[in-house]
Amino acid sequence: KTTLHGEDHNGEYCCHMSMEDCEQALTISLEDEKSYAITPKYLEYLASKKLIVPRFKSIQWFIKCRSRLNLCFETVFYATNYLDRFILSMNQCNIEWKYWMVELLSVACISIASKFSDTTTPTLHEINLNMEDMEHLFQPSTIQRMELMILQALDWR
Amino acid sequence: MEKYKRDGVIGKERNSLRQIHKYRRQGSSGGSVVVKRFMLQPKLDALSTRDEEASADPEETGVPIKTLRQISLLKVMQHENIVRLVEMNYEDGDSLVRLVFEYADMDLRNFLEEYAAKASDQKLVKKLLCQLLRGVAHFHSIGAAHGALNPKNVLIDIGNENLKILNIAMDADALYTAPELLLGSTESSPAADMFAVGCIFAEMVNRRPLFQGKAANINNIFNLLGTPTEENWPGKLSEVFPNLEPHGLDLISKLLCLDPSKRIKACAALKHDYFKDLILLR
């Protein structure tokens, strides 16, 4: 039996796990991963709503924002995942996507992502300012309302 | 909230004056639930400024980080020995969310008092401790710590003898607080949870709290466990637990280990010889 060393976030707690435990944990994680993945019909939806280019721009903002505000790389991946899952969750209600909506959504997504993965979180204003080629500047209260909409749509997961 | 009727106080929220109530479900379904409120858009009235949620300036960072992480954690936490989240209700134009958790028949404190005969069965103690450790091990496996384990938030279903841990950021009880926290360390940790498990185990064995008094202080702990020299301290434990089998005594001494880095981990405790003769129906 091989034993592995697992460390938690503060690096103090370690736990001996058997190989079987590890394999089981990995299987569960991969299974979980599926529930956060997007479906093939997402691409169709993006195309039908002309969102492919705006989505591409959003991801560029995320990457720029990460380096300017010194955020961690996970934040970019989480933000993109939230953005995709939120847009997908909207495919039932027939909304007309406007460009400012994607901008607002992007600011809120990176704010939420940063709260989960960074040790120091930038303020909403900082995020908005650092997405400099954005056309709109949003009120913090508006961004917060958007955060809540996203969290509810994603069921806080 | 019309579906529920208030049915007693079960504790106080951490860093807040707000009390946590138990509710009885109305209608045919019956059963009790616990409700935890989270402020999502803190209001600037006198009451809410005392809450920790409100202190993190909403205009600056949006939905408070703590709230976000707590709710997300509660959502992903699914284990047979951890209390289940039943529903989420948004209120006041979404500025407030109420999380509704299932409650069991009673908490461990009441169980030990009201079912003294049943609770004195050492086989049942073993079965309950095993379930407690499984729940705690689940917390620790996802990098979280409970932070306030005590017999008031360990719940028991009498019929099937199931145990579930309630995790809603309640005030910690000083009687179950690990010595390193009493000495000034402020972070709750998996190791501190294990000390609390040790205190709860001791309470189940003797059917009274291990450390007593208005507030447990470091003197009470050192009186029992000795000042921190490793040679002298396990001596007294066998006097305190005359009816406990040797394996149980060994486990309790490892749970109450003064040095948090040497204290037994939840997953290791589950493999302890004390549980060797336990057959759990899963």
Element (H, E) at A101: helix A99-117
> Which two three-digit tokens encode residue B142?
């996802």
Does residue B146 share a domain with residue B209?
Answer: yes
Residue B171 to residue B278: CA distance in whole angstroms = 33
Average of per-residue pLDDT across A111-134:
85
> Residue B2: its pLDDT value, please?
55
Going from the C-alpha of B153 to that of each of B22, B82, B127, B143, B157, the distances in angstroms are 12, 10, 18, 20, 13
> Residue A17: its pLDDT value, please?
62
The answer to whether residue B187 is domain-embedded is yes
Q: Does the beta-carbon distance from B140 to A125 stay under 8 Å?
A: no
Q: A98 or A37: whose pLDDT is higher?
A: A98
Average of per-residue pLDDT across B19-26:
76
Residue B222 to residue B29: CA distance in whole angstroms = 48
Q: What angle do CA B264, B265, B271 make, to 5 degrees?
A: 90
Interface contacts A/B by beta carbons within 8 Å: 79
The answer to whether residue B281 is domain-embedded is no
Does residue B228 share a domain with residue B138?
Answer: yes
Which of A9, A148, A157 is opposite residue B75, by nearest beta carbon? A157
Does residue B126 share a domain with residue B93?
Answer: no
Does residue B140 share a domain with residue B241?
Answer: yes
- Domain boundary among the residues B84, B102, B120 is at B102
Residue B156's SS3 state is strand
Number of domains chain B contains: 2
Instruction: Decide: B172 and B150 in contact? Cβ < 8 Å.
Output: yes
Does residue B27 share a domain with residue B156?
Answer: no
Does residue B147 share a domain with residue B41?
Answer: no
Average of per-residue pLDDT across B176-201:
85
Does residue B194 share a domain with residue B120?
Answer: yes
Q: B14 or B193: whose pLDDT is higher?
A: B193
Strands (DSSP E) found in chain B: 4-12, 19-25, 32-39, 85-91, 96-102, 106-107, 154-157, 162-165
DSSP B174: G
Q: Does the beta-carbon distance from A111 to B58 stay under 8 Å?
A: no
The secondary structure of B70-133 as a DSSP string is HHHHHHH---TTBPPEEEEEEETTTTEEEEEEE--SEEHHHHHHHTHHHHT-HHHHHHHHHHHH
Q: Does the beta-carbon distance from A15 to B268 stay under 8 Å?
A: yes
The distance of B208 to chain A (nearest Cα, Å) reads: 30
Say if residue A25's pLDDT is above 80: no
Cα B75 to the chain's mean position, in Å?
18
Does residue B136 share a domain with residue B79?
Answer: no
Does residue B95 share a domain with residue B114?
Answer: no
Does residue B137 share a domain with residue B259?
Answer: yes
> Which two three-digit tokens encode residue B242?
């005359």
Least confident of B41-45, B95-99, B157-161: B41-45
Closest CA to B264 of B274, B275, B253, B276: B253
A33 touches chain B (CB under 8 A): no
DSSP B32: E
Does residue B12 share a domain with residue B69?
Answer: yes
Summarised one tens digit per residue, pLDDT across range A27-45 is 877 877 777 777 778 888 8
Q: Does the beta-carbon distance from B69 to A116 stay under 8 Å?
A: yes
> Residue B282: its pLDDT value, please?
43
**Residues with Cβ within 8 Å of residue A10, at least 6 apart in sequence:** B187, B189
What value of ipTM does the predicted structure carry? Answer: 0.73
Does residue B155 share a domain with residue B185?
Answer: yes
- Domain boundary among the residues B102, B121, B152 is at B102
A155 touches chain B (CB under 8 A): yes
Average of per-residue pLDDT across B140-167:
89
Going from the C-alpha of B268 to that of each of A8, A15, B137, B188, the distances in angstroms are 16, 8, 9, 20
Q: Does the beta-carbon distance from B60 to A140 stay under 8 Å?
A: yes
Q: What is the pTM of this model?
A: 0.75
The answer to whether residue B150 is domain-embedded is yes
Task: Residue A12: list chain B partners with CB under 8 A.
Answer: 189, 191, 261
Residue A77 to residue A84: CA distance in whole angstroms = 11
* Domain CATH for B63: 3.30.200.20
* Domain CATH for B268: 1.10.510.10
The answer to whether residue B280 is domain-embedded is no
B156-191 in b/e form (b: 16+ CB < 10 A) is beeeeebbbbbbbbbebbbbbbbbbbbeeeeebbbb
Identify the domain containing residue B72 by its residue range. Answer: 4-102
Average of per-residue pLDDT across B114-125:
89
Task: Residue B71: list chain A partners with CB under 8 A.
Answer: 151, 156
> Residue B111: its pLDDT value, please?
93
Task: Residue A125: list chain B partners with CB under 8 A.
Answer: 60
N-terminal to C-terminal alpha carbon distance within chain B: 35
Specify the pairing of strand B162-165 against strand B154-157: antiparallel
- Domain boundary among the residues B47, B82, B102 is at B102
The distance of B207 to chain A (nearest Cα, Å) reads: 31
Average of per-residue pLDDT across A130-136:
79
Cα B112 to the chain's mean position, in Å?
16
